[in-house]
Amino acid sequence: MRSLLAVLLISLLQPASLLAELWVPAFFSDHMVLQRDSMVAIWGRATGNSPVTVTFRGQSVRTTADSAGHWRLQIASGAADAVGSSLKIETQPGEPALTLQDVLVGEVWFASGQSNMVFTMSRVPAYADVIAASDFPQIRMFNAPMVTAVEPQDRIEGKWALCTPTSVPDFSAVAFFFARKLHTELKVPIGVIKSAWGGKPVETFTSREALLTLPATKSLVEAALLADQNFDPARAATSYERQLQQWQTKDAQWKQKAGSARGARPRKPAAPKRPLASEGQPGVLFNSMIHPFVGYTLRGVIWYQGEANAKAGAVPYDQTLPLMIQDWRTRWNSDLSFYFVQLANFRAASTEPGERDPWPLLQDRMRKVLQTTPKTGMAICNDIGEAKDIHPKNKLDVGERLALWALAKDYDRTDLVYCGPLYRSSVVKGAAIEVQFDQIGAGLKVRDSGALNRFEIAGADKVWHWAQATITSADTVAVSSAAVPQPVAVRYAWAANPSGANLVNSAGLPASVFRTDDWNDVEGQ
């Protein structure tokens, strides 16, 4: 009896960190997919200084938790496995083990960004037949919740879901079509971890440590830290109550109006948050929605974001996106493949040359990321947008164009034309400028077999004119205008919505926006 009391007394006096139940993050769970042919990382918590053993597909690896209970190990995943195995995690005798069931081995990708990555299959009525036929149990998706955090987190909720007609309506449409294309081509299981939040800038997905290394983003971090320091919860609550009362009055008035006289319904004010817990602030979503996954063994990342950064005065995207990519690669300690979506066309089609808009400027800066950042790829989508909807419904082409990059670069499909034409170089020849392109496939083409559209040309006066453009060889377009006898620069598809842009390659993939000048034509850019 005394010995039992002594044991109980000792256990009560132990620090809480030393008496931890065996725990692993939520993404180490039933139906997960592990990256094939890799030493995959597994980690979690246990009682401090206790042994931890992981057993998978006939092999066991053992480690010891540190004094705080943290443990991490690597185990060989082996070849692709579509049948499913159990993965067992054990600690010291007498403590319950964890057994994860139906664990597949295949290809694992991380999907992130803003609303066009969040955009689900259920939002497109035309995908009803696709959904009904989506019985792909070897495709698995982990949907992370939208949460915020002031400091980097180790935990996030969620679970793995098998791709079925019941579950796929809640899948990211871009990620689904990406995964389906890979699964169909590779014949192996595909796992996708989706962690995205609509309307948020790239800076919130990047760690504050990385942001502090770039002067332009350092100022954003410093402003957020200052705002957080000056945040007064009581004052914010009082202001919110006042705004809420005003909204209730306006909303009641709105309800009393009839028909078209109502107009738009007043927007309910959002409850106040401290700045460093607000989802759009620098580093916040990195802390809450990226950091928990750091270390999960992946093949690469797909990314659809940029709308929130397409504005005058924004830090140039060819600085901020590479910063985030390098930040993630450093955190994962892996040279992850990173494939992103160039923004689709949006808003009313322009009819005049020389448009001053931050949208094509950001699209062009996305193109430049390909030149500066290794192992990146870009799905060009300026042919599938919608003038009145920033969320175009055609997500099939988006997902499959991302998959083309992965198939070509990660899975050795050398037979594929995986990207639309990309600007390579230009040279002035008399009254014309000859433009050379890469990614032409078997040669440049006009989509509708008519005249090439949306080429602009300018002289030293920087006045843009519509140009005549002709394909003169497999990779070259000659651009000229009678109004510009001494041309200096060329642009293509330089508009938020370059309706009629029709330069494609032999695979029908569209050419990217580009410019040969570096004139500052947007305020703050």
For the residues of 243-291, what is the DSSP string, one character each?
A: HHHHHHHHHHHHHHS-GGGG-SPPPPPPPP--GGGSTTSTTHHIIIIIG
- How many Å apart are CA 76 and CA 280, to the nearest integer? 38
Q: pTM of this prediction?
A: 0.93
Handedness of CA 225, 231, 237, 242 (dihedral sign): negative
Q: How confident is the model over 204-219, as pLDDT tens digits?
A: 999 999 999 999 999 9
Strand order in the sheet with 432-438: 422-429, 432-438, 476-480, 468-473
Phi, psi dihedrals of residue 28, rounded to the nearest 5°: -90, 90
For the chain, the domains span: 235-273, 422-515
Taking residues 263-276, what's their average pLDDT? Answer: 92
Q: How confident is the model over 344-356, as pLDDT tens digits?
A: 999 999 999 999 9
pLDDT of residue 49: 97
DSSP structural state of residue 160: E
Taking residues 381-399, what's their average pLDDT? Answer: 97
pLDDT of 129 higher than 80: yes
Give the largest CA-CA distance in the chain.
103
> pLDDT band at residue 384, thresholds of 50, 70 and 90?
very high
Taking residues 172-188, what's their average pLDDT? Answer: 98
| Share above pLDDT 90 across residues of the chain, in percent, rounded to a whole number | 91
Taking residues 407-426, what's their average pLDDT? Answer: 98
DSSP structural state of residue 177: H
Taking residues 177-183, what's their average pLDDT? Answer: 98
Q: Which amino acid is at 222?
A: E
pLDDT of residue 470: 98
pLDDT of residue 13: 47
Taking residues 305-322, what's their average pLDDT? Answer: 97
Q: What is the mean pLDDT of the chain?
A: 94
pLDDT of residue 359: 97
Phi, psi dihedrals of residue 319, rounded to the nearest 5°: -105, -45
CATH number for the region 422-515 comes to: 2.40.10
> pLDDT band at residue 521, thresholds of 50, 70 and 90?
low
pLDDT of 82 higher than 90: yes
DSSP strand pairing (190-196 vs 98-113): parallel
Residue 271, token pair as written in the block: 């409850």
pLDDT of 507 higher than 60: yes
Q: How confident is the model over 476-492, as pLDDT tens digits?
A: 999 999 999 999 999 99
Taking residues 265-278, what's their average pLDDT? Answer: 93
Q: Which of 15-19, 106-110, 157-161 has the lowest mean pLDDT?
A: 15-19
pLDDT of 523 higher than 50: no
Taking residues 176-192, what's their average pLDDT? Answer: 98
pLDDT of 302 higher than 70: yes
Taking residues 393-409, what's their average pLDDT? Answer: 98
Of all helices (H) and strands (E), which one includes residue 234?
A: helix 233-256
pLDDT of 222 higher than 90: yes
What is the three-class DSSP state of 126?
A: helix
pLDDT of residue 19: 54
pLDDT of 18 higher than 50: no
Angle subtended at Cα 39 by Cα 37 and Cα 44, rounded to the nearest 5 degrees? 135
Angle subtended at Cα 283 by Cα 389 and Cα 401, rounded to the nearest 5 degrees? 40
The answer for residues whose C-beta is within 8 angstroms of residue 273's C-beta and 6 or more apart is 148
Residue 505, token pair as written in the block: 């390659």
pLDDT of 12 higher than 90: no
Taking residues 254-279, what's their average pLDDT? Answer: 89
pLDDT of residue 522: 60
pLDDT of residue 258: 77
Residue 446, token pair as written in the block: 């006009």
pLDDT of 525 higher than 60: no
pLDDT of residue 170: 97
Q: How confident is the model over 448-469, as pLDDT tens digits?
A: 989 999 999 999 999 999 999 9
> pLDDT band at residue 262, thresholds of 50, 70 and 90?
confident
